[in-house]
Amino acid sequence: MKVAEQSKRVQQAYQGIDQTKRYRLMEAIQIIKKTPKVKFDESVDLAFCLGVDPKQSDQAVRGVVSLPNGTGKKVRIAVFCKGEAEKSAREAGADFIGAEDLIKKVEGGWLDFDVVVSTPDLMKDVGKLGKILGPKGLMPNPKAGTVTTDVAKAIKEVKAGRVEFKVDKQGNINLSVGKLSFLEQAIYENALQAIEAIVHQRPASVKGIFIKGIALSSSMGPGLKLDLTEFQP
């Protein structure tokens, strides 16, 4: 795309958007659905600014949410397991399955997957991949349901639209809640489910404002600030 064409598209995208306004969720969705499109199906993203100190272990907001209408993405799942669990993982539709062989492959730099699931018995060995998987948010975690003896259940939930979220070092959370091609109601249901999940993750040690701001955007479009009063518990 030429710079001039890109500038024109960006200018059109911002037309009619009030940067000082706080939009209701459905109104924001309707606006981004009408913005000039690009050649691919953009993701619809939520960005949260949280009033937490991520350096404090009791304020490290983390969890999972099941999006009722899925993510619209094909998720590649790698499963570290062996024995009977290997059969269950294959039947559930895992893309990559293995134990020591798969661990060595990842150690060698292979990372062609989006989600990692592991059985508890292999976590001692998978833990050695922390420096590789950790920075990319791929490390299996019991709280996220990705360290489990029931690998089939974990795989099915991920494929159905389960998304993991985690606060970053700046106190922000970013996650996709669908595709721009989704119907408005489908995006709304997904986004509302994600927002409510994070609202309920408020750490007990946070005394002030927990959610300072939420913005909704498409991958290549402008961010619209949301009216937080709509989501107060």
The set of residues, in sequence order, having a beta carbon less than 8 Å from that of 110 and lying 6+ positions away, is none
Asked if residue 197 has pLDDT above 60, the reply is yes
Based on the domain organization, do 58 and 84 belong to the same domain?
Answer: no
The amino acid that residue 66 corresponds to is S
Based on the domain organization, do 144 and 86 belong to the same domain?
Answer: yes
Residue 153 three-state SS: helix
Q: Give the model confidence (pLDDT) of 18-67 as tens digits.
A: 778 999 999 999 999 988 888 899 999 999 999 999 899 899 898 889 99
How many CB atoms neighbour CB 108 within 10 A? 9
pTM: 0.77
The set of residues, in sequence order, having a beta carbon less than 8 Å from that of 44 and lying 6+ positions away, is 29, 32, 176, 177, 178, 179, 180, 182, 187, 190, 191, 216, 217, 218
Quick one: average pLDDT of 220-228?
A: 92
Is residue 1 in some structural domain?
no
| Alpha-helical segments (H) within the chain | 3-14, 25-34, 84-92, 100-107, 123-126, 130-133, 151-160, 184-199
Asked if residue 13 has pLDDT above 80, the reply is no
Residue 74 is classified by DSSP as: P
Based on the domain organization, do 54 and 103 belong to the same domain?
Answer: no
Top-confidence residue, 5 or 91: 91
C-alpha dihedral sign at 96, 66, 168, 37: positive
Distance in angstroms (rounded) separating the CA atoms of residues 173 and 167? 5
Based on the domain organization, do 105 and 211 belong to the same domain?
Answer: no
Based on the domain organization, do 95 and 146 belong to the same domain?
Answer: yes
Lowest mean pLDDT among 34-48, 87-101, 171-185: 34-48
Based on the domain organization, do 191 and 81 belong to the same domain?
Answer: no
Is residue 14 in some structural domain?
no
pLDDT at 232: 79
Quick one: average pLDDT of 94-113?
A: 95
pLDDT at 4: 45
84-92 and 151-160 helices, crossing angle to 10°: 20
Q: How far does Cα 188 stand from its chain's mean position? A: 16
Based on the domain organization, do 129 and 170 belong to the same domain?
Answer: no
Based on the domain organization, do 171 and 209 belong to the same domain?
Answer: yes
Asked if residue 199 has pLDDT above 90, the reply is yes
Based on the domain organization, do 181 and 209 belong to the same domain?
Answer: yes
Is residue 7 in some structural domain?
no
Residue 69 is classified by DSSP as: T
Based on the domain organization, do 201 and 217 belong to the same domain?
Answer: yes
Asked if residue 113 has pLDDT above 60, the reply is yes
Distance in angstroms (rounded) separating the CA atoms of residues 156 and 79? 12
Is residue 3 in some structural domain?
no
Task: Specify the number of domains making up the chain.
Answer: 2
Pairing between strand 77-80 and 96-98? Answer: parallel
pLDDT at 137: 85
Is residue 83 in some structural domain?
yes
Helices then strands, each counted (H, E), the chain? 8, 9
pLDDT class of 1 with cuts at 50, 70, 90: very low
Top-confidence residue, 189 or 36: 189
pLDDT class of 154 with cuts at 50, 70, 90: very high
Which domain range does residue 209 map to?
19-70+163-231
Asked if residue 105 has pLDDT above 80, the reply is yes
Is residue 48 in some structural domain?
yes
Based on the domain organization, do 167 and 215 belong to the same domain?
Answer: yes
CATH code of the domain covering residue 85 = 3.40.50.790
Structure token digits, residue 69:
């209408």
Quick one: average pLDDT of 131-143?
A: 90
Quick one: average pLDDT of 153-174?
A: 91
pLDDT at 35: 85
Distance in angstroms (rounded) separating the CA atoms of residues 32 and 77? 30
Distance in angstroms (rounded) separating the CA atoms of residues 28 and 10? 17
Mean pLDDT value across the chain: 90
